[in-house]
Amino acid sequence: MSATLTLDALTKTFDGAAHPAVDAVSFTVAAGECLAILGPSGSGKSTVLRSIAGLDVPSSGRILVDGTEVAGLAPERRGMAMVFQRPLLFPHLSVLDNVAFAGTVAGQPRREARADAAQFLDLVQLGGFGSRAVTALSGGQEQRVALARALAARPRVLLLDEPFSALDPALRTDMHELLAQIRAQLNPTVVMVTHDRDEAAVVADTVALLTAGRLLQHDSVPRLYSRPASLAVSRLMGGRNEVEGTVSEGVHYSALGAIAAPEGEQWPDGVGVLVVRQEALRLGEPLPGEAGVRGVVAASALRGPRAHVVVDVNGAALECETAAISAPEVGTEVTVSIPLAGCAVLAA
């Protein structure tokens, strides 16, 4: 029930717009993989998704499902189903008939469609809710019904447009778990739009990071964090540490001293900005594979159980995330341990 989805230089310029909303975006989502399209507001995420679904017509570029172009195919003939931020259920139909809708429209006998729908309601943990009016559901339950309705169409590609962003954090976590179960049982290819990088990291195998309609990087979640392709990617992923310096023969020289490139990485000679995640830094003496630098705590801000500690190292500010309970006081001299495997050097 899954297919490979490929976008080849997908471009969409809305009538009268000076710039494309989506500009030559290319990526491939393997069958059964979950891709998150991540980016700030207005970056073109929904336009990419709507183009895949057939709800927006691309200006140029190709969309292929298992190698076959879908241009010209009506949305309902693409083997896809979409779930939106709002559930958009039919208020005059029961929960069961909402889920059975796709089947009955496709000509499935009513009893069969309903039996099918009951199974999908079980899958989203709403077995027993079938006879309810959809107006008698909570927001989280409504979104589960919307998911069941989409799955009942047996899509080869499931498209999710910020489906959980209207839910409170606890419900959102439940929905992430439900999506993982659905993936384990039905294995659809999933493309999900989100502006929340934590959500992308939890649900997706790979992330396509967009800004101003352009694809900045398509990569696995760990690589987006540890091997950003540019400073823009590092910043969009919430990276806080940027230390200017110069690379010579694979070693970055800066206020931090000499930091050697991790094995297998090539850092080009010349000016370069060293980036390393705040969560990767540790206060304490270095272990093998880490570089230790001495500095003085310049600031410390509590964020619930965590603390963001800024350490001044020879004029360079290094932000470290640490447990609040062990956060040192401002003015304390500390050693920051930098994992070499977590360092990248990027063009300024």
Summarize as ranges the residues that interact with ligand ATP (CB under 6 A). Answer: 14, 17, 21, 39, 41-47, 195
How far apart are CB 25 and ligand ATP at their closest, in Å?
11
How far apart are CB 39 and ligand ATP at their closest, in Å?
5
Structure tokens at 91: 């208020």
Round to whole Å and give the CA distance between 207 and 200.
7
How far apart are CB 7 and ligand ATP at their closest, in Å?
14
Round to whole Å and give the CA distance between 56 and 46.
10
The nearer residue to ligand ATP, 56 or 116, going by C-beta atoms, is 56
Grouping H, G, I as helix, E, B as strand and the rest as coil, residue 170 is helix
Q: Please name which of 23, 26, 4, 25 lies closest in space to residue 13, comparing C-alpha atoms.
A: 23
How far apart are CB 337 and ligand ATP at their closest, in Å?
38
Helices 169-186, 110-123: axis angle to 10 degrees equals 120
How far apart are CB 240 and ligand ATP at their closest, in Å?
23
The nearer residue to ligand ATP, 45 or 282, going by C-beta atoms, is 45
The nearer residue to ligand ATP, 39 or 54, going by C-beta atoms, is 39
Grouping H, G, I as helix, E, B as strand and the rest as coil, residue 164 is coil
The nearer residue to ligand ATP, 45 or 149, going by C-beta atoms, is 45
How far apart are CB 74 and ligand ATP at their closest, in Å?
19
For 26-49, give one letter per residue: b (16+ CB within 10 A) or e: ebebebbbbbbbbbeeebbbbbbb
The nearer residue to ligand ATP, 42 or 238, going by C-beta atoms, is 42
* Cβ contact 124:178 at 8 Å: yes
The nearer residue to ligand ATP, 47 or 234, going by C-beta atoms, is 47
